[in-house]
Amino acid sequence: MNKELKVWLNVNPHRDRQKAKQYSADILQNLLSEFHPNGGVFDVQRGKNGKPYVEQGPHFSYAHCGQFHAYVIDDEQIGIDVERINSKRNTQGIAQRHYHRTEWQQLKSMNKQDQTELFFKWWAQKEAWCKFEGGVLWYFLPQAISSSGLHFFDVPLIKGMACSVATKEPVTKVTLNVLK
């Protein structure tokens, strides 16, 4: 089966936390309305661990890294995360302490640049997995990504960022949409 997704990207113009939150909520409402035109205004609820959802509505996930936001909507459960790749972070120390031992072993055998990129790719995958499940990140960090039973699509072409979408089915294509 060929699963195609749309990912919407946006730079939130607000630095004030409340204004930024409202701006993002408005974008989400617009995207949900486009995806499900007869839905009206969607009442976004929060699950046990804070996962947002709408009753009997489409599934969605969103993430932000600073002012950069990413959104994805689907008919089935989905998760997304975006991370800024930061070469100044102590990726070895964090991975040794929090990642699965086989992932840590692979990372420590790499050169610094490749290690940094893979570290953040995996972090985005683990957060997308967490958002897919509606869990707590600290549970997912030490788990091997390969044990998730999910498929991850790493969104390309976002300079300096790692962005991953978690789904039950393999994704063959992602269309990036920039919201202005």
Strand partners, 162: 83
For residue 36, the model assigns a pLDDT of 85
For residue 63, the model assigns a pLDDT of 96
Q: Which two tokens stand for residue 148?
A: 């998730």
CA dihedral over 106, 109, 113, 116, signed as positive or negative: positive
For residue 173, the model assigns a pLDDT of 87
Tell me the per-residue pLDDT of 88-135, one tens digit each, with 9 for 90 and over. Answer: 999 999 999 999 999 999 999 999 999 999 999 999 999 999 999 999
Question: Has residue 1 got a pLDDT over 70?
Answer: no
Among 21, 77, 12, residue whose Cα is nearest residue 51: 77
- 98 and 142 in contact (C-beta within 8 Å)? yes
Tell me the per-residue pLDDT of 41-78, one tens digit each, with 9 for 90 and over. Answer: 899 999 999 999 999 889 999 999 999 999 999 999 99
Among 155, 146, 152, residue whose Cα is nearest residue 131: 152
Angle at 10 between CA 168 and CA 166, to 5 degrees: 10
